[in-house]
Structure 1
């Protein structure tokens, strides 16, 4: 028997960091998962824990770092953690940190007290940071569950038809999807000093270009729209080399109103949640090699 690739860690440590600036408070709400790998053969083969940093310790580190380093962004917090685990333990060769960030907005109230928030009804921000003992970094940011819809400017026709095809062609339809995306930064320790990254701004820019491309594209297929969205990010964000998109087609079908003597001129639809088409692709900067991990489970 041969032991293959393996890792261990603590999954989904829910940490909420409050910063109190007088009467005005700020909140960061994260879900952090740590996976460590390295010289771990003996714990599998003989049960020796000599090289094992406990998963409880990794969980405690997450909470301690939230206090000691603060949480500027999901990416920066993950960088602090990944570097710590690899550099502080000789047996750990690679650390992978996955972060989901849940956004809150302030509830506007009169007076000086600003400590009430409401959870935003929007996407979840994600990040995965990987660092190894060779000094190699990989920073992958992303988002999931961002629901978007175009009520027109979408067609679907000219496709292959066989004996089982029943879908009618359309020259005007609703195009709706739930954007799940992750993108890999062209970031290294060396370039960081010369060109520091504002991770929050980088995320906001990538999100903005995804949305603007979705809105701007006259779509003949969801595949075409996906490519335009990814291409816009690569073109407009020079610090990003690769983006992977997973777009489920949230189908909206015209409701049959004829039995009621009513004409349905693209006005009334029923939304079918399943089954659904699932369109996925990766867009790369010309000359860049694919590097987003295949096991990234955000998509």
Structure 2
């Protein structure tokens, strides 16, 4: 029986960097978590420990720092593309690169009713993400977010489900529906002048509107409507993937207290939880290639 080396890559994970733009008295801040992975002829390193063609992961970390100075990291997609091109174009053995980015938001502290020029407080509804994969014959950009906690206090049902001898859940026509949403969408034919911030903001707003307004009979149904709406509105989006853990809210039994509880007081359970995953794909879209490589927890 023959054993061979399979697909492989290596890189530097979770390089934390903060970029301050000081071109004026009013400073700007960008807070990132950057991971990189390189692909190329590394067989000798794995099989024989030969490092002569291996760019150290520490160098990848330093490159992430330097490119945050060379290229303003807002929008993060432009920064990620520039960093990936540096690895592939400037480092001779490298044949492909993947850059994954998380962005954490800050807002200005107000002093005497005015935003301060150089003092910030950590904020943000979600963590914005981007993944750029640069191959010899293709470039893939995946936008998205994670940890977007959203809740609707009515407009959600759950009934008529399959029942067996172990079922204890009661059907309901009025429940809290809440989740911590992860969404990633892959763009094709993205031009160099793509308004990455504009696309991101619009897709997020559109999906939240669907979550709010759909009279939902299942979280599965809600995810499908959110994903379909994004693809209908933005032709460059080839597919979208969504992961939604249920953040359960159960009605507290007030019968012991001789008090009514008409869908007003709930206890929030963080585990175990239902985990719903969905994707919406545009028929005939360009194939994903390696766009999703490296993601875990996504369908």
Describe the SS at the equivalent of 1:116: strand
Aligned to 1:128: 131
Aligned to 2:165: 163
Question: Which one of 244, 251, 272 corresponds to residue 241 of structure 2?
Answer: 244
Describe the SS at the equivalent of 2:111: coil
- The unaligned stretches of length 5 or more in structure 2 are none
Aligned to 1:254: 251
Work out the CA distance in 1 between the residues paired with 2:236 and 2:251.
42
Answer whether contact 1:205 1:237 (CA < 8 A) is retained.
Answer: no
Answer whether contact 2:38 2:98 (CA < 8 A) is retained.
Answer: yes
TM-score under structure 1 normalisation?
0.94
Q: Would you say 1:42 and 2:39 are equivalent positions?
A: no
Aligned to 1:267: 264
Aligned to 1:199: 196
Residue 289 of structure 1 and its aligned partner are, at CA, apart by 5.4
Describe the SS at the equivalent of 2:11: coil
Per the alignment, do residues 276 and 294 of structure 1 end up closer, same or farther by CA in structure 2, a change over 3 Å counting? Answer: farther
Q: Would you say 1:114 and 2:117 are equivalent positions?
A: yes
- Residues 152-194 of structure 1: CA deviation (Å, up to 9, x unaligned): 0111101110000110000111111111010101135xxx25x
TM-score under structure 2 normalisation?
0.94
Answer whether contact 1:36 1:92 (CA < 8 A) is retained.
Answer: yes
Work out the CA distance in 2 between the residues paired with 1:289 and 1:173.
40
Answer whether contact 1:149 1:174 (CA < 8 A) is retained.
Answer: yes
Describe the SS at the equivalent of 1:78: helix
Answer whether contact 2:109 2:116 (CA < 8 A) is retained.
Answer: no
Answer whether contact 1:157 1:171 (CA < 8 A) is retained.
Answer: yes
Q: Would you say 1:102 and 2:104 are equivalent positions?
A: yes
Answer whether contact 1:138 1:187 (CA < 8 A) is retained.
Answer: no
- The unaligned stretches of length 5 or more in structure 1 are none
Aligned to 1:4: 6
Residue 264 of structure 1 and its aligned partner are, at CA, apart by 1.2
Per the alignment, do residues 65 and 295 of structure 1 end up closer, same or farther by CA in structure 2, a change over 3 Å counting? Answer: closer
Aligned to 1:216: 213
Answer whether contact 1:34 1:96 (CA < 8 A) is retained.
Answer: yes
